[in-house]
Amino acid sequence: MQRPGEKCGLVHATNDTFNLCVLCASASLHNMLTSNTLRHVKTIGVAILCCLAAGCDQTAKLASLADDAVILAFGDSLTAGTGTNKKQAYPAQLQGLISRTVINAGIPGEVSHSGLRRLPALLKQHQPDLVIICHGGNDILRRLNLQQTRDNIQAMIDTSRSHGAEVMLVGVPEFGIFLSSAEFYTELARNNRLPIENTVLSDILGVAAYKSDRIHPNAEGYGIMAKRLAQLLKHSDAI
């Protein structure tokens, strides 16, 4: 350890030796910290570049769906295909895109607590490998308690999983000045580690050419929905 009166490698005036040595020590410490910081920055930078090169796909993953897998599309009018015919509803169009059986289990006008009661029988009947849940829109339109809606959809997720099915979620927008998915869908997807298509309905219903009325897509809109869900299945490694 350097003592007052000793030189630290720089030329100092005799009377100011101690003060200047302290400054030299501080400068050395600063240089050392700067060097360490640069090393950390370089390490982080390399990690970011590697992440970007790998795609950094944060989509929750699903088990791969066999060619004979069964998918249950569960929901309300947005699943049933209100605004077009059943052959142009998103489940039928999705089936054509992914070459797996997709069962349309949509009931127009259904609220989430009724859907929750209906789901177990469908799971027992069809024994699906995957359930796509697109529910809660009528709760939103009727201004029901959305905490209860969230709890009902959580129960749908739990019930589906208890029957051995994977789950994928579709967020439904709240209808206001801005079309954006109700916040609880994102929360459910995060908490349950589910793949979610959270913007497709907002995107479709924001374009007049893609909808049959204020709240339902037309055949072209449902086609966009099917394509986006097919993409999500690919990104989640299901197909």
Active site residues: 77, 213, 216
Q: How far is CA 57 from CA 51, 52, 233, 234, 237, in A?
A: 9, 9, 13, 12, 11
- Two tokens at 173? 């927008």
Q: Are the C-beta atoms of residues 49 and 43 closer than 8 Å to each other?
A: no
Q: Is 84 left (phi over 0), alpha (psi -120 to 50) or beta?
A: beta
CA separation for the pair 209, 186 (Å, rounded): 27
* Distance, CA of 190 to CA of 201 (rounded, Å): 19
Please state the separation of Cα 128 from the chain's center in Å: 22
- What is the DSSP pairing of strand 130-134 with strand 70-75? parallel
- Which residues have C-beta within 8 Å of that of residue 144, sequence separation ≥ 6? 111
d(CA 78, CA 55): 32
Strand 166-170 relative to strand 70-75: parallel, antiparallel, unpaired?
A: unpaired
